[in-house]
Amino acid sequence: MSSPLIVALDHARLETVLPLVDALDPRRCRLKVGKELFTREGPAVLKSLHARGFEVFLDLKFHDIPNTVAAAVHAAADQGVWMVNVHAGGGRAMMSAAREVLKRHGLLTRLIAVTVLTSMDDAGLVEVGVDTPAADQVMRLAQLTQDAGLAGVVCSAREAAALRERFGSDFLKVTPGIRPAFAQTDDQRRVMTPAEAIRAGSTHLVIGRPVTRANDPMAALSAIETELAEVERTGPGEG
């Protein structure tokens, strides 16, 4: 599976989203299950998507004491998800406990940490007591994440180039806030187009509404793939 695309299934019900899922091809994208769908439908969603051959990112952003988060990450990985995440703000001990539990049980699920939500900007950070620009806060939390031995971070594509420079290409940079030229920004603040994100060093692009709420989701996905194919054709430095 070489596609960097992860389609976010932010829907209330599995039955609502299955027509879209059945139009998608597991060789063209992975799927992300988040808080709404998982809270309403539970692990049956994962079974259903796995049965269709999809790799699943379970995006529940665990943030709690180390013992609780480690147990939740273990539960997610036991269900065969490809990727799971925690909040880096939970700290080193929490992230290490989550990594350790996967290691102890020989589970290969990728564990990553959310740095600064892509819906936040510098002003939003100040309101929650963080007087550091988003880019610096992302770098700080990414360093903590790497020190704790996790596979990478969730960040915006705007920070991807600096993260690649500091941590290398293998450290995962999973970037929501992807907005093709044809899409609205919605509640996202730190956004980039698919081509800009890949050029900047994003390893995975999370895309929800620009595809799932498009009049023609498959046409929207194809347009994004065409944009990425152009980056591949011209090389990362062009455009």
Ligand X SMILES: O=c1ccn([C@@H]2O[C@H](COP(=O)(O)O)[C@@H](O)[C@H]2O)c(=O)[nH]1
Chain residues binding ligand X by CB under 6 A are 8, 10, 34, 114, 117-118, 154, 176-177, 186, 188, 206-210
- 59 among annotated binding-site residues: yes
Exactly one of 22, 47, 61, 186 is catalytic; name it.
61
Residue nearest to ligand X (CB): 208
Which 8-state DSSP code applies to residue 7? Answer: E
Exactly one of 22, 35, 64, 78 is catalytic; name it.
64
- 39 among annotated binding-site residues: no
Whether 48 contacts 14, CB under 8 Å = yes
- 239 among annotated binding-site residues: no
Catalytic site residue 131?
no
What are the CA-CA distances from residue 84 to residues 60, 110, 228 (Å)? 7, 6, 25
- 64 among annotated binding-site residues: yes
- Least Å distance, CB 155 to ligand X, is 7
Catalytic site residue 61?
yes
Chain-centroid distance of CA 212 in Å reads 16
Gap between the terminal Cα atoms of the chain = 26
- Least Å distance, CB 238 to ligand X, is 25
Give the alpha-carbon dihedral of 56, 29, 190, 125, to 10 degrees.
0
Give the alpha-carbon dihedral of 157, 159, 164, 169, to 10 degrees.
-30
- Least Å distance, CB 51 to ligand X, is 22
Q: How deeply is 23 buried, as exposed, middle or buried, from its count of CB atoms within 10 A (0-12, 13-18, 19+)?
A: exposed
CA distance 225 to 238: 17
Which residue, 186 or 227, is less far from ligand X as judged by CB? 186
* Residues contacting residue 232 through CB under 8 Å, at least 6 positions apart: none
- 145 among annotated binding-site residues: no
Which residue, 109 or 118, is less far from ligand X as judged by CB? 118
CA distance 110 to 190: 24
Which residue, 97 or 141, is less far from ligand X as judged by CB? 141
Which residue, 35 or 166, is less far from ligand X as judged by CB? 35
- 32 among annotated binding-site residues: yes
- Least Å distance, CB 50 to ligand X, is 19
- Least Å distance, CB 61 to ligand X, is 7
Exactly one of 25, 59, 122, 186 is catalytic; name it.
59
Which residue, 34 or 194, is less far from ligand X as judged by CB? 34
Residue ranges for the known binding site for substrate are 10, 32, 59-68, 118, 179, 188, 208-209
Catalytic residues: 59, 61, 64
